[in-house]
Amino acid sequence: MCNENVGSYLKFVFTDDKSVGLYNNDVGDIYHSIFGAKSEAEGKFVAPLDFMNNFYNKDNLKVLDICYGIGYNTKVLLKKILQTNYQGKVHIDILEYDKNLVTISPFIKDSLFKSFPEISYILTSSLINEIYHNKSLLQLLVSNAQYSKFFEPFYRRLIQKYHLLGYTYYHYKQNNAFLHNIYYHCISQRIKKPYNRFKINDFIIRPYFDDARTTIKALNTQYDIIFLDAFTPAKLPTLWSYEFFKELYRLSAKDCILVTYSNSVAIRHAMSAAGYSAGKLFDKDNRHCGTIASRNKNLIKNPLDDYDIGLMQTKAGIYYRDKNLNSTVQEIIERYCKEKMTSSLQSSSQFIKKYKSEHNNGKI
């Protein structure tokens, strides 16, 4: 998609927490909750990590952000790292098929810029070459009123000056000038305060623009944190198969934590079958809001109970299969539907009815 007009397949909206959300017309699915794109990242992805207890004392933090989009999960994690004055080095690998999204991610109005301009500076520094070469997209951001309101005005002015009007500088000099202006206007005064620690060399962010299945087979890093934020399994089963989770398990450090928004019985079953200990996530209103998984079962605060495990043994627990991690969406869905139709497993409704009759006088 990196050569398409961004307006042809993406719809920008402001969500309830003032951050920008997206809808993909081609896939027919949302990237973020309309109730708050940034808030969703905070509540469903970063808060469950329990960063201070589980990761603050690591010398090197390695993160895999799958389906990065416009980067809210990474941004909110960077916010936590800056807030806590974390002393180690941070390495984030981002997997995203759509290069346009990654290119614009530092400039989105995400309600973080005013308080944490370091975040967009870190991202811009890491993605500067991609930004420089995507001039057609940058032109759209600063010249099209339909989209410009969704981007930070400070960056729009800089983009106009350095990437559209043009300088006589060579490529690397122009990039350095662009980064210098961001640093001087947004960061240099802040880091003079004693509580603010900021070393750009402590952050390495590396993008991969390909099918995530292809990328993970080539990776060998042991990650401490994995964000899985793909489109819903019904829309994109390629990134929710048992085989995909086996690869993620291979890339997981002993105390790695994987988080996702999905509550699906089939997804939890695939995680468990791949070797993970899985558990439930709850929001501030005590509603199910996702799933957490780890090699280390002691890191799971709310493990799956007998009811959850029982559901896995029903037709609802049948998971997607993608043996060589190269099947099409249609092939995976057809295989999945065929297995459900021919399965002799009981239905989830049969299990639930029986479970209710046997436990707590019909209450679960």
pLDDT (0 to 100) of residue 169 = 55
pLDDT (0 to 100) of residue 7 = 56
Q: Helix (H, G, I), strand (E, B), or coil: what is residue 24?
A: strand
Q: What percentage of the chain exceeds 70 in pLDDT?
A: 90
pLDDT (0 to 100) of residue 32 = 64
pLDDT (0 to 100) of residue 9 = 73
What's the whole-number mean pLDDT along residues 63-75? 96
What's the whole-number mean pLDDT along residues 161-178? 72
Answer with the residue of higher pLDDT: 358 or 164.
358
pTM over 0.85: yes
Q: What percentage of the chain exceeds 90 in pLDDT?
A: 60
Contact 97, 231 (CB under 8 A): no
Q: Helix (H, G, I), strand (E, B), or coil: what is residue 328?
A: coil
Model confidence pLDDT, tens digit, residues 257-309: 999 999 999 999 999 999 999 999 998 888 889 999 999 999 999 999 999 99
Please provide the average confidence, as pLDDT, over all residues in the chain: 89
pLDDT (0 to 100) of residue 3 = 43
Reported confidence tier of residue 186, pLDDT bands at 50, 70, 90: confident
Q: Does position 4 have pLDDT exceeding 60, yes or no?
A: no
Place of tokens 């620690």: 197
Model confidence pLDDT, tens digit, residues 187-226: 886 666 655 567 888 999 999 999 999 999 999 999 999 9
pLDDT (0 to 100) of residue 191 = 64
pLDDT (0 to 100) of residue 123 = 96
Contact 227, 259 (CB under 8 A): yes
pLDDT (0 to 100) of residue 1 = 41
Angstrom distance (rounded) from CA 225 to CA 227: 7
User: 28 — alpha (psi -120 to 50), left (phi > 0) or beta?
Assistant: left
- How far lies 32's CA from each of 17, 23, 72, 101, 138, in Å? 12, 8, 9, 13, 23
Q: Does position 136 have pLDDT exceeding 70, yes or no?
A: yes
How far does the chain reach from its first CA to its final CA, in angstroms?
46
pLDDT (0 to 100) of residue 225 = 98
Model confidence pLDDT, tens digit, residues 324-347: 999 999 999 999 999 999 999 999
When mean pLDDT is compared across 33-37, 152-156, 203-207, the lowest value belongs to 33-37
What's the whole-number mean pLDDT along residues 60-84? 96
pLDDT (0 to 100) of residue 2 = 41
The structural domains of the chain, with segments of one domain joined by +, span: 6-209
Place of tokens 């909206």: 13
Model confidence pLDDT, tens digit, residues 83-135: 998 999 999 999 999 998 999 999 999 989 988 999 999 999 999 988 888 87
